[in-house]
Structure 1
Amino acid sequence: MTAAPKTQLAAVGAVAPVPVSTVGGSAGDPLPRRKLIFAIVSMGLFMSSVDQTIVATGLPAIQRELHAQINWSGWTITIYALGQVLAMPMAGKISDMYGRRKVFLISAAVFTVASLCCGLSHNIYELVGLRLVQALGGGAFMPSATGIVSDHFGRERDRALGMFTSILPIGGIVGPILGGVFVAVWSWRGIFLVNVPIGIVLIVLAAVFLPAGATRSTGRIDAYGIGLLGVVILAAMFGITYLGSGEIPLYDPVFLGSEAVAVAAAWLFVRHTKRHASPFIPYRLLRGRGFGVMNVINLLYGAAALGFGALVPLYAEQRYGMQPLASGILLTARAVGMISVAGVAVLTLRRTGYRFPMVVGFLVLAAGLIAMATTPHLSTYAWLAIAAGVTGCGMGLAVPASNNASLQLAPDQVAAIAGLRGMFRQSGSIIAVSVTTAILARSGDPGIAQAHVFIGFAVVLLAALPLVFTVPDHRGSW
């Protein structure tokens, strides 16, 4: 197996292949057994990825039925992203210490029970809290699934892990459509309740067919560091959301106090990372050569691209009065655009290097955002679908290059870099959705206000372009 395919597979994925142990291994497992193992863990990943996008379609219905302001309804999206940010590093280390199968089963049980409770929620605060629990279960799927597949595919593990990259965008395609169908023919509660029978089947299959595997000691979990990061994001989110509740001024003590807590927790987090022997995030990955720039780029990209994606159905429904199913399909157009371009972008990386596709991708994504915000020049639906597809093409161009631009900085720490990249992108998405929903809550015309926000996202991407030219580039053979 040559090195090039491994690099390419890592390029497109949300999570890159991690260094693994073959203890408990599996290189000799028969092919049908390995296929069954892969199918079971893929089922868990698919459930988790669908729930990243399915709620966006039902957001207006949730807001109406639970009598919630849009700024608090938006937490159903942002809290899920936060839960995954916190769960992934913890689950990875716990699965090494106590066994991948055990963590996978617990993840499936937590996700299924939380989904049931979400579907039975009586108010927005219950739903937000339960979404956090659901995200902890969903976020733990990826590390444990990666470990299970790595342990049981031997030298073929790079291909198996690379196939994970197709599951996430497929979930992004299916999620909005399912959400639209449930809202149209039943209720937003079906978005969550559908996970219950699937989750039960997954738990039974995993308990019967997944091997126990081996455990290994990997040291202690940096719970303090993870907790500080959670406080940073939660306090900042709460302050921004509170600001969107009515005519609250910027000097309100609750808002200022929340942001002060976030700043203090951020300072403690950086201080802890510099001093801890085995921190949640190694300090050199935060500010080392090239990493500081890439972290900022990933944060801005997460705000503009991932945050935008979560808000598209809401925009289509509020500005143009589209039905939930039609508005959800707009996200499908974006996912199709991304998938259609990403493969070609990966194959040309050796010739183009990293900077060129990132610059072109950001420009295309910004053009799609501006088109989405402007007055339609065709039928409304066709125009929005084309604009969403253009944004997907921009993402497909930029993501493989930005993924590899980070990985080349420390090839020996692929797993840590993949987690760090996801953390900054999800954090950007959390900030974008929180700020946008706060703006919409204070706006007299939420549809037009969101159009202005999309233009602001485009400006953010254009502002990131000078940073791209400082990224260490790489061409030629890898």
Structure 2
Amino acid sequence: MLLRSPSSGPSRTESTRGAAVGTLLEGDEPLPGRRLVFVVVGLALLLGSIDATSVATALPAMQTDLGGSLGWIGWTITIYSLGQIVALPIAGRLSDQFGRNRIFLLAVAAFTLTSLAAGLTQDIAVLIAVRALQGIAAGAIMPSATGIVAERFGRNRDRAIGMFTSIFPIGAIIGPVVGGVLVSYTSWRSIFFVNLPLGVVILIGGLLLIGVRRQGRKEFDGPAVDVPGIALLVLFLLGAMTAITVLSSTGALPVRLVVTVAAAVVAVLAARRFLRHARTAANPVVPIRLLRGRTFGPLNLVNIVFGVVAIGFSAMVPLYAEHRYGIGPLVAGSLLSVRAIAMIATSSGSVAVLRTVGTRKLMIAGFATLALGTGLLATPPPGGLSPEVWLSITAGITGLGMGMAGPSSNNASMHLAKEEISAIAGLRAMFRQTGGIAGISITTAVVSVAANPGLTQAWTFVVFGLLALVVVPVILRLPDHRGAW
């Protein structure tokens, strides 16, 4: 984030750096009405966070209502994450070019309209397309809203942004419960309809409090957004997701094989072209130096596995509880809230001891605990415990693991390139979301063709746990950071 006095003009280099987050700040004096602005933009961020997790409780209801295999229903989650991956790097540039206030309001309006469309759709293909647009809108909210908060709070922006980012785990707690309540007592469609009044309130509040004032146009050295690189990345992920889903779906086997092979070829070609682009482009979305090497390569692998285990786990637990134990959507969704509470509680302790213990030990302890939690989740309840209690305990254990592994792996990546913090943060999020997409796609594809979906998904959790253990030797190769920056 870039700070400057009101009297200093932005240089070309400064403006380029500011494009990464969409925030070129005007001064250090806090502005009037900042707390109300914080509430408005924070509510928008909360809506996006809730919609990322609440849908997980509605997958069986969606499948019953709309038809289609579980593999295709799972796209309602993965395509939302993919939309966010696309939007995050682009929205920062657009916020700088057209004004963060305008981009924020447009993103909220788009999120509200796509929520209406998602609730009204009668076809799974249409719902997937709408969820992609909704994910793009949700991803565009983050950089523009962060810039608004930073501008309004002036010299107190560090604390304000710290509070702002804490909204995400709150959404992880609320989302599954909201989804469970709505699915249990109304319909899966109400998960999207509930966004409409809140979206209108945010739009009205935003127009009254921040308006559509346009900040000064910024200049850039070359393209600030790598559109070809993002397109290749999306093509690779879509190709891989399609190949996995089509292979496990119903229909004529020859047709499925042809489509699967074609999608896999597209994914492989896009991946090769993406790597070549990362080596040769002037401003690639993922620089090749941040993809490979003795430190970046292993750390990127750690982040992918973290996404598979943590994000994939988040989406699949309610489905597992419903399939294997016949637990209703409300209780099934509450399991994710238990995990989120445990994660938040452990994260604060991990941050406190980070400089004493070091990043490596915390990462190892976190991934080992994740492996333990996912492994225990797959086993039947011991000693006469009810499934609800046992699943709550095991979900809580995985939350403890995430609370240890998350902050330590975040700091480990930042220490590798202190001068490129924005790029590293974006890369870390991209790899974790990619891992989550892979975990969810493969799991839903396998479960959709299984004779016993609950037991099959239990074995996928065993695989998740083994993956978490496999990266422990990789973590041992990473530098162990203890001190302050």
**Equivalent residue in structure 2 for 1:464, among 464, 471, 479:** 471
* TM value normalised by structure 1: 0.93
**Equivalent residue in structure 2 for 1:294, among 292, 299, 304:** 299
Structure 2: any 5+ residue segments left out of the alignment?
A: 1-17
Note if contact 2:180-2:329 (Cα within 8 Å) is conserved in structure 1.
yes
Answer yes or no: is 1:415 the counterpart of 2:395.
no
- Render the CA deviation track for 1:308-351: whole Å, top value 9, x for unaligned: 11000000001000111010000000001101100000010001
How far the C-alpha of 1:236 sits from its partner, in A, is: 0.3
How far the C-alpha of 1:251 sits from its partner, in A, is: 9.2
**Equivalent residue in structure 1 for 2:374, among 369, 372, 376:** 369
How far the C-alpha of 1:226 sits from its partner, in A, is: 0.7
Answer yes or no: is 1:451 the counterpart of 2:458.
yes
In the alignment, the residues of structure 1 paired with residue 22 and residue 68 of structure 2 have an alpha-carbon distance, to the nearest angstrom, of 48
Note if contact 1:24-1:214 (Cα within 8 Å) is conserved in structure 2.
no
**Equivalent residue in structure 2 for 1:216, among 201, 215, 218:** 218
Amino acid at match of 1:65: D
Q: Secondary structure at the match of 1:187?
A: coil
Answer yes or no: is 1:233 the counterpart of 2:237.
yes
How far the C-alpha of 1:291 sits from its partner, in A, is: 1.4
How far the C-alpha of 1:288 sits from its partner, in A, is: 4.4
Amino acid at match of 1:427: T
Find the counterpart in structure 2 of residue 62 from structure 1.
62
Q: Secondary structure at the match of 2:33?
A: helix
TM-aligned CA distance change 1:119 to 1:396, over 3 Å: same
Amino acid at match of 2:42: S
Find the counterpart in structure 1 of residue 405 from structure 2.
398
Greater mean alpha carbon deviation, residues 247-256 or residues 328-337? 247-256
**Equivalent residue in structure 1 for 2:285, among 277, 280, 284:** 280
In the alignment, the residues of structure 1 paired with residue 23 and residue 138 of structure 2 have an alpha-carbon distance, to the nearest angstrom, of 25
**Equivalent residue in structure 1 for 2:315, among 287, 310, 316:** 310
Find the counterpart in structure 1 of residue 26 from structure 2.
25
Structure 1: any 5+ residue segments left out of the alignment?
A: 1-16
Greater mean alpha carbon deviation, residues 308-317 or residues 288-297? 288-297
- Render the CA deviation track for 1:217-249: whole Å, top value 9, x for unaligned: 234221111111100000100000001113848
How far the C-alpha of 1:124 sits from its partner, in A, is: 0.7
Amino acid at match of 2:46: F
**Equivalent residue in structure 1 for 2:445, among 418, 426, 438:** 438
How far the C-alpha of 1:24 sits from its partner, in A, is: 5.5
Note if contact 1:21-1:151 (Cα within 8 Å) is conserved in structure 2.
no
TM-aligned CA distance change 1:23 to 1:65, over 3 Å: closer
Note if contact 2:230-2:285 (Cα within 8 Å) is conserved in structure 1.
yes
Greater mean alpha carbon deviation, residues 54-63 or residues 155-164? 155-164
- Render the CA deviation track for 1:337-377: whole Å, top value 9, x for unaligned: 10110000001000111110100011111111011100101
TM-aligned CA distance change 1:290 to 1:322, over 3 Å: same
In the alignment, the residues of structure 1 paired with residue 418 and residue 86 of structure 2 have an alpha-carbon distance, to the nearest angstrom, of 24
- Render the CA deviation track for 1:373-393: whole Å, top value 9, x for unaligned: 001011110000000000000
How far the C-alpha of 1:96 sits from its partner, in A, is: 1.4
Q: Secondary structure at the match of 1:375?
A: coil
Amino acid at match of 1:456: V
| Identity across matched positions, percent | 47
Find the counterpart in structure 2 of residue 189 from structure 1.
189
TM-aligned CA distance change 1:448 to 1:23, over 3 Å: closer
Structure 1 runs of 4+ with >6 Å offset: 17-22
Note if contact 1:103-1:140 (Cα within 8 Å) is conserved in structure 2.
yes
Note if contact 1:76-1:128 (Cα within 8 Å) is conserved in structure 2.
yes
In the alignment, the residues of structure 2 paired with residue 289 and residue 33 of structure 1 have an alpha-carbon distance, to the nearest angstrom, of 48
**Equivalent residue in structure 1 for 2:395, among 388, 395, 405:** 388
Note if contact 2:30-2:156 (Cα within 8 Å) is conserved in structure 1.
no
In the alignment, the residues of structure 2 paired with residue 298 and residue 111 of structure 1 have an alpha-carbon distance, to the nearest angstrom, of 28
Q: Secondary structure at the match of 1:371?
A: helix
Note if contact 1:20-1:150 (Cα within 8 Å) is conserved in structure 2.
no
Note if contact 2:378-2:461 (Cα within 8 Å) is conserved in structure 1.
yes
Find the counterpart in structure 2 of residue 41 from structure 1.
41
Greater mean alpha carbon deviation, residues 445-454 or residues 214-223? 214-223
In the alignment, the residues of structure 2 paired with residue 18 and residue 447 of structure 1 have an alpha-carbon distance, to the nearest angstrom, of 46
In the alignment, the residues of structure 1 paired with residue 22 and residue 120 of structure 2 have an alpha-carbon distance, to the nearest angstrom, of 42
Find the counterpart in structure 2 of residue 8 from structure 1.
none
Note if contact 1:374-1:451 (Cα within 8 Å) is conserved in structure 2.
yes
In the alignment, the residues of structure 1 paired with residue 77 and residue 161 of structure 2 have an alpha-carbon distance, to the nearest angstrom, of 27
TM-aligned CA distance change 1:238 to 1:452, over 3 Å: same
Find the counterpart in structure 2 of residue 267 from structure 1.
272
Q: Secondary structure at the match of 1:29?
A: coil
Amino acid at match of 1:371: L
Note if contact 1:20-1:151 (Cα within 8 Å) is conserved in structure 2.
no
Note if contact 1:228-1:265 (Cα within 8 Å) is conserved in structure 2.
yes
Aligned residues: 461
In the alignment, the residues of structure 2 paired with residue 189 and residue 353 of structure 1 have an alpha-carbon distance, to the nearest angstrom, of 46
* TM value normalised by structure 2: 0.92
In the alignment, the residues of structure 2 paired with residue 246 and residue 68 of structure 1 have an alpha-carbon distance, to the nearest angstrom, of 9
Amino acid at match of 2:350: A
Find the counterpart in structure 2 of residue 245 from structure 1.
249
In the alignment, the residues of structure 2 paired with residue 184 and residue 143 of structure 1 have an alpha-carbon distance, to the nearest angstrom, of 34
Find the counterpart in structure 2 of residue 333 from structure 1.
338
Q: Secondary structure at the match of 1:287?
A: coil
Answer yes or no: is 1:170 the counterpart of 2:170.
yes
Note if contact 1:25-1:152 (Cα within 8 Å) is conserved in structure 2.
no
- Render the CA deviation track for 1:70-94: whole Å, top value 9, x for unaligned: 0110000100011101110111111
Find the counterpart in structure 2 of residue 155 from structure 1.
155
How far the C-alpha of 1:475 sits from its partner, in A, is: 1.6
Note if contact 2:249-2:449 (Cα within 8 Å) is conserved in structure 1.
yes
TM-aligned CA distance change 1:22 to 1:194, over 3 Å: closer
